[in-house]
């Protein structure tokens, strides 16, 4: 059978046909790109909010790393993992599957599951936690609503473990330097000095100058120091603070705290603090010296006619001064 020219023109070479089809398919995908960022949940609000720079009303899908910014209304974030969060009015945060990066305002994690909130360099981990940022360069307020809120700084150093129902304000620089101020009762337990924070009720083990600690034992004090990576030796303590400065706030008033912690407000008699060590007696020209009490004993002994007693006192005094 012979085809005329018009019929032949409608017959395409199979190779050319496949090439044209491939070009059309490529152009179609280029016109409708598919996002590779996974969806992690949804965000809803009673008013409008901004998602990735675009104004949205009602609700929208959350993708890993999305930036959400609220205006006059708060927003609710529900992740597919079951974690629920809330951003207060005038807040901004980036949302990830495993953490919330708070840039401004207030963020709150529900009590359904532990989650991490990053704010001003701090990492706050826990369930039922609220984090609020003050003015730039000032403080961050962390509240433990239903569980313990653990606060970590640079290098994952534990700065605080805030019990449920308590809150704490931390200076922004503490995240990098680990410097903290604590105020509370200074008591003694298991051969260590510890302090119960007035605000959070945390128990912190203190490291530093034992002489300074012994002088203030049983009193309310303010201590400044740096969070340590060392694990506390005292069971009830959550962290160790290396103290650089200590100042008294009030005398006494720590008996109740000591009783609750099974601790002491005075050093045991067997413990000799550095502060209680007596300075050595001044040496005489002959290389030795007697205390005023020893001299008085000799005078009394001689006055009583007992030269032998005086010699015995001298021998006893010499023995005490040379014994370890």
Domain locations in the chain as residue ranges: 39-176, 178-275
Total residue length of the chain: 324
pLDDT in tens, 275-302: 433 334 443 333 333 344 433 333 333 3
Gyration radius from the chain CA atoms: 36
pLDDT in tens, 106-165: 999 998 788 999 999 999 999 999 999 987 778 999 999 999 999 999 999 999 999 999
pLDDT of residue 141: 96
- pTM given for the model: 0.71
Distance CA 132, CA 282 (A): 60
Q: Are 233 and 205 in contact (CB under 8 A)?
A: yes
Neighbours of 239 (CB within 10 A): 22
pLDDT of residue 270: 77
pLDDT of residue 319: 32
In whole angstroms, what separates CA 59 from the centre of its chain?
A: 35
- Report the top-level CATH class of 39-176: mainly beta
Mean pLDDT of 27-50: 70
Please choose, from the candidates 217, 263, 218, the residue with its C-alpha nearest in 3D space to the C-alpha of residue 236: 263
Distance CA 245, CA 211 (A): 12
Neighbours of 265 (CB within 10 A): 18
Distance CA 54, CA 303 (A): 103
DSSP state letters, 278-313: PPPPPP-TTS----HHHHHHHHHHHHTT-HHHHHHH
pLDDT in tens, 80-105: 999 999 999 999 999 999 999 999 99
Mean pLDDT of 197-220: 96
178-275: CATH topology is: OB fold (Dihydrolipoamide Acetyltransferase, E2P) (2.40.50)
């Amino acid at each position: 059978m012979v085809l005329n020219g018009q019929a032949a023109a409608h017959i395409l070479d199979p190779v050319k046909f496949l090439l044209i089809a491939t070009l059309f398919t490529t152009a179609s995908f280029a016109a409708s790109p598919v996002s590779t960022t996974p969806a992690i949940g949804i965000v809803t609000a009673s008013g409008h909010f901004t998602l990735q720079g675009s104004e949205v009303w009602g609700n929208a899908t959350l993708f890993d790393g999305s930036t959400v910014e609220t205006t006059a209304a708060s927003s609710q974030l529900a992740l597919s993992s079951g974690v629920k969060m809330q951003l207060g009015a005038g807040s901004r945060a980036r949302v990830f599957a495993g953490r919330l990066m708070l840039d401004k305002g207030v963020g709150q994690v529900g009590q359904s599951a532990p989650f991490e909130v990053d704010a001003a360099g701090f990492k706050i981990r826990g369930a039922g936690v609220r984090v609020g940022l003050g003015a730039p360069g000032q403080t961050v307020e962390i509240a433990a609503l239903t569980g313990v809120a653990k606060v970590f700084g640079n290098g994952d150093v534990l700065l605080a473990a805030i019990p449920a129902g308590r809150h704490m304000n931390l200076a922004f620089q503490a995240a990098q330097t680990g410097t903290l101020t604590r105020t509370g009762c200074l008591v003694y337990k298991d051969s260590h000095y510890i302090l119960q924070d007035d605000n959070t009720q945390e128990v912190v083990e203190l490291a530093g100058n034992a002489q300074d600690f012994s002088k203030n034992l049983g009193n309310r004090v303010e201590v400044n120091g740096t969070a340590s990576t060392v694990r506390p030796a005292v069971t009830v303590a959550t962290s160790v603070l290396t103290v650089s400065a200590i100042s008294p706030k009030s005398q006494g008033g720590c008996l109740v705290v000591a009783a609750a912690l099974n601790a002491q407000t005075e050093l045991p008699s067997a413990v000799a603090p550095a502060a209680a060590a007596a300075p050595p007696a001044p040496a005489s020209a002959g290389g030795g010296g007697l205390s005023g009490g020893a001299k008085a004993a000799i005078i009394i002994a001689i006055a009583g006619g007992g030269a032998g007693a005086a010699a015995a006192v001298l021998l006893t005094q010499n023995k005490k001064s040379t014994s370890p």
